[in-house]
Chain A
Amino acid sequence: MEGFALSIDEKSWVAKAREGDVAAFEAIYSRYERRLYAFIYRLMGNSEDAYDLTQDTFVKAYMALPRTSPDLNLSAWLHRIASNTCMDVLRRRKLIKWLPWETFDTNPAIEPAADDDPVGEYNQFETSGEVQAVLDKLTPKHRMALILKEYQGMSCDEIGEVMGASRSAVKSLLFRAREEFRQAYLARYGHAPGAEPDVITGESPSRLEG
């Protein structure tokens, strides 16, 4: 029992949480809180949205859990709820998207942090606020696909499960996303991603891997 191998049985949590075991849902929450928060943060580009929509995501998950099937893919399911939640908000904001926000050269994702703010300290790693700024410019679906792939480390099949798309649709989505990213990056910084070595050789901070 005391062992080398670790087999955390997510399914048993789901089963217990489905029956109202609050501790099991808490465990699910604990496991996915950071991951979903980071996902939503990168998708929305700011911490206020990340806070609110992570909350919405978990509340929806809690409410919907009893109606799920026993062979639930928890990670994909939670990401799907998060994706839909974010897309709803983005869709609603679409109307104001063309207001001249983009003339501001500040990056909303990187906020000044208080000295005693551990999150801020953590964000000192961020050498490339530019990347988030470019992500923010992408079509939401492209941004989502790219973040799921590169940031959340998902496979194309998993992304398909999250976004409700076929494998080939995901492939083409990723292609278009990369092209759009490339164009946006070029438009903003005047050079292609990777052309400036500083941008990519910074020490990679600890991060979640799928």
Chain B
Amino acid sequence: MNCNEVRPLLSAYYDGVVTQGERVQVESHLASCESCRHSLAEYRAIGADIRALSVPIPPVGLRRDVWRAIEAQGNSSKRISGNAPARGPIPGTLLAPAQARRKQSFATAFSNVGRGWSRALPAALLVGVMAVVLVVMLVRKDGSAAAAALSEESPITAYTQPVHVLFSKRVLMTDPENHADAVSHTTLWETDVKPPVSVPVSITVTNTGSGPALTLMPKAGRWQPGASYEVRVDAPRISLGVDGSQLDRQPLTLTFTVAAYTPTATSTPTKTAIPTATSAPTDTPRPRNTAVAQITPEYTPVAPSEVTGTVASITPVRSAATATAVKASPTTVPSATATTVPSTPTMAATYTSTPTSTSGPTQTAEPPSQTPTARSTATATAIVTPTHTVVPTPTRRATPSATPVKSTPTPHVTSPPTPTPPCGIMPVNGFGKIWDNNPVVRNRAGCPTAYESAISLAAGERFQNGYMFWRGDTQTIYVFIGGPNDTVGTWASFPDTYRDGDPTVQPLATPPAGLYAPVRGFGKIYYNETIEGMSIQQALGWAVEPETNTTAAWQPYENGYALWTADRVIRFMYSQDYLWMRFADSYVAPTATPR
């Protein structure tokens, strides 16, 4: 072989993708050809040069802009340009592009108003009409006899999931001739902007099994994270198809919100879209709450009979938990008991068995400081199909408030009952607050398998792209991959085999000024271990601080762990896919008692 024949093989030889025969040929040629040896050396040098190129770190704004662009996709918006870190007014949320979009869609608002309310009125008048209509809606906020209801729970957590409007009467769904049908007179509005803007919506008629319903989906294909919406049902214009009767004398407004993007706002199965519950629409106006009951459960639902039977047994458990909470941490009481207020009267209407636990005396004590919790709603399991949302929904004005509610100091108490699976051990304190409020966490982590415990011997170190944590009692090192702005990442655990006196791993490169190379046990993992072919060192970058001692709290769950560290960060670590989610610990302990 001459050099020209060998050259192409040389490149493949360097890459290790030659056959055995080719290898022999190349090597025998190399032995006698200095020029080709030189070429091979050059290929190596090229490779070394390229590998020596630094790995640029993405600017901090990139992640946020990616999410914004994803969110804006449905609105035909393109790339979010620029890389100034503080571009958006609300870092970490997805609101900024929405605002821009709203400006443009405001122009279209009036035309849609015309479609829904009156084609003939000039635009200027419409503003006035809208104001009046809004007043009417506010007056009607009791909503106890709503002729239409949403079947979805608010907030919507799956952005691509449609919402369904159920009617209490057999309305005309489509009526091209007389234009007196539900589809024509149902409009969608985004209300977190002033003035509210109409949202282009596609409406289809769906048979839910409990009668026809309207399925609404923004034409953009997804809901605006963090936005509030209204479905306006112009009930006076919707005919029942018999003797000119109408759905209702006044327009109806069905409100809901969409969870902003946080780990709490992650998906729920889209199959929850269609209500599956039993109660068919009847001619009797139905309380708003009936719709709530139709949400398909996210958790494995307990069989109804079983649930009913366990009311008595659930209650004592909860009472016991409450009693404990009273003693241990007074501020947990409002969250644990005051939130039973809404569920108790609601249930009293339907079921006679109300909780008679110790929660009674404290119910009116003070406004709940937290959102409704799992504990409080455990009793609701008796009647309501479990729903997935625990987040309070002040905008649900149609929630039956006709029921005498003893003390409803905050909108929180109008939240519907939201049962959660009863756990033998309930998470408390900061873990409990997140677990209670975040369906994704509950879903992923499951129930605690032990009480939380304090770790007094612990150390942590923050990195450019992650965090290392050492648990002294079990001699385990946990590595969390993910930058300072990440709320989700991957984790791994390694046994800490470093013992005092062991030689410190020598850094392969000196960290730049202001950054650090980890030492001791962290260093040993950092330099020697890998995650899927990527060394821990590469994954984490340099440390941004020296290793520091910390205190921590730890709780094992069915599918993972919760870790609290003294910097008031809580990480839920899931063992099924080695994801972690990070939260700020916003729980305020009642006293100075250390966790």
A33 shortest CB reach to chain B, Å: 5
Q: Decide: A203 and B56 in contact? CB cutoff 8 A.
A: no
B50 in complex: contacting residue of A16, A41, A131, CB < 8 Å: A131
State the total of A-B contacts with C-beta under 8 angstroms. Answer: 246
- Say whether, besides A12-B577, A178-B11, A50 and B488 are in contact (CB < 8 Å): no
Q: Which of B55, B493, B579 contacts A207 (CB 8 A)?
A: B55
Q: Which residues from chain A contact B73 at a C-beta distance below 8 Å? A: 59, 62-63
- Asked whether B51 lies within 8 Å of A55 as measured between CB atoms, the reply is no
Q: Which B residues touch A150, using CB under 8 A? A: 46-47, 50-51
Q: A147-B50, A151-B51 are in contact. Are A30 and B537 (CB under 8 A)?
A: no
Interface status of A2 (Cβ within 8 A of chain B): yes
Given contacts A2-B476, A193-B45, is CB(A55)–CB(B52) below 8 Å?
Answer: no
Q: Of B62, B159, B464, which contacts A37 at CB under 8 A?
A: B62
**Are the C-beta atoms of A204 and B79 separated by less than 8 Å?**
no
Most A CB contacts (10 A, CB to CB) among B46, B464, B513, B541 go to B46
Complex interface: chain B residues within 8 A of A27 (CB): 488-490, 577, 579
Task: Give the distance to chain A from B406, nearest Cβ to Cβ, in Å.
Answer: 38
Interface mask (B407-445 → A, CB under 8 Å = 1, otherwise 0)? 000000000000000000000000000000000100000
User: Is the C-beta of B450 less than 8 angstroms from some C-beta in chain A?
Assistant: no
**A203 to chain B: which residues have CB within 8 Å?**
508-510
Residues of A contacting B83 in the complex (Cβ-Cβ under 8 angstroms)? 47-48, 51
Cross-chain contact B56 with A119 (CB below 8 angstroms): yes
Q: What is the CA–CA distance of A124 and B515 in the complex, to the nearest angstrom?
A: 13
Question: Within 8 Å of chain A (Cβ to Cβ): is B487?
Answer: yes
Distance, CA A202 to CA B49, complexed state (A): 9
Which of B46, B488, B490 is A193 in contact with, Cβ under 8 Å? B46
B473 at the interface (CB under 8 A from A): no
Which residues of A are found within 8 Å of B535, using beta-carbon distances? 206, 209
Does A80 reach chain B (CB closer than 8 Å)? no
Q: Is the CB of A207 within 8 A of B54?
A: yes
Provide the residues of chain B in CB contact with A202, threshold 8 Å. 52
Which of B465, B483, B509 touches A204 (beta carbons < 8 Å)?
B509
In the bound complex, what is the Cα–Cα distance between A75 and B386 (angstroms)? 38
Interface of A is mostly: helix
B109 at the interface (CB under 8 A from A): no
Interface contact B54-A23, CB-CB below 8 Å: no
| Residues A21-73 near B (CB distance < 8 A) | 21-24, 26-27, 29-31, 33-34, 37-38, 41-42, 47-48, 50-52, 54-56, 58-59, 62-63
Interface code A147-174, partner B: CB below 8 Å = 1, 0 otherwise?
Answer: 1011100001000000000010001101
Q: Which residue of the partner chain, among B8, B62, B537, B542, contacts A54 with CB atoms under 8 Å?
A: B62
Within 8 A of A (CB), among B554-568: none
Closest Cβ of chain B to A28, distance in Å, is 10
- Asked whether, in the complex, the Cβ of B42 is within 8 Å of the Cβ of A182, the reply is yes
Instruction: For chain A, residues 104 to 127, give those with C-beta under 8 angstroms from any C-beta of chain B.
Output: 118-119, 121-127
Please state if A37 and B53 are interface contacts (CB–CB under 8 Å).
Answer: no
- In contact, A121 and B263 (Cβ under 8 angstroms): no
Q: How many residues of B contact A (CB 8 A)?
A: 88
Whether the Cβ atoms of A208 and B538 lie closer than 8 Å is yes
Contact across chains for A19 and B267 when beta carbons are under 8 A apart: yes
Q: How far is the CB of B425 from chain A (nearest CB, A)?
A: 18
CB atoms of B533 and A156 under 8 A apart = no
Give A residues with C-beta under 8 Å from B.
Answer: 1-4, 6-9, 12-13, 16, 19-24, 26-27, 29-31, 33-34, 37-38, 41-42, 47-48, 50-52, 54-56, 58-59, 62-63, 118-119, 121-128, 131-132, 135, 146-147, 149-151, 156, 167, 171-172, 174-175, 178-179, 181-182, 185, 192-195, 199-200, 202-210
28 cross-chain CB contacts under 8 A: A6-B492, A8-B531, A20-B161, A21-B267, A31-B481, A34-B58, A42-B53, A47-B59, A51-B58, A51-B62, A59-B73, A118-B464, A121-B513, A121-B515, A135-B50, A149-B15, A150-B51, A167-B17, A171-B17, A175-B7, A175-B8, A178-B46, A182-B46, A194-B41, A194-B48, A204-B51, A208-B55, A209-B534
Complex A-B, nearest 6 residue pairs according to Cβ-Cβ distance, in ascending order: A194-B45, A175-B11, A150-B50, A20-B267, A37-B58, A6-B492
Interface residues of B (CB under 8 A from A): 7-8, 10-12, 15, 17, 38, 41-59, 62-63, 65-66, 69-70, 73, 79-81, 83, 158-161, 261, 263, 265-267, 269-270, 440, 464-465, 474, 476, 481-483, 486-490, 492-495, 508-510, 512-515, 531-535, 537-538, 541-542, 575-579, 581
